[in-house]
């Protein structure tokens, strides 16, 4: 008699599928929220013709985009205070 009460499923119900799909979607969404920050919008030093020496009086340390001690709002990577690039904008 024990064999007669056992239920065998040959298919997955729509409800079970939706429950699993919702749980998987929630887990993936949580993983994306907890993941690393979005990619930077900064440009490469090479593309901006960055160089570690000034262009006359134009230097990174007197540029409006310079973030002390060695960063830039627009150019990726370490920036020398005495450097220069085509995005130079006086303070």
Higher pLDDT, 5 or 73: 73
- Report which DSSP code applies to 67: E
Which residues, in sequence order, are CB contacts of 28 under 8 Å at separation 6+? none
pLDDT in tens, 57-71: 999 999 999 999 999
Contact 74, 65 (CB under 8 A): yes
Which pLDDT does position 8 carry in this prediction?
57
Query: 29 pLDDT band (50/70/90 cuts)?
Result: low
């Amino acid at each position: 008699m024990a064999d007669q009460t056992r239920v065998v499923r040959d298919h997955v119900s729509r409800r079970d599928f939706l429950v699993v799909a919702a749980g998987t979607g929630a887990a993936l969404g949580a993983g994306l929220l907890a993941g690393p920050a979005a990619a930077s919008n900064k440009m490469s030093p090479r593309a901006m013709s960055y160089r570690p020496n000034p262009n006359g009086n134009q230097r990174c340390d007197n540029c409006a985009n310079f973030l002390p001690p060695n960063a830039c709002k627009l150019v990726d990577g370490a920036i020398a205070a005495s450097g220069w690039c085509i995005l130079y904008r006086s303070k």
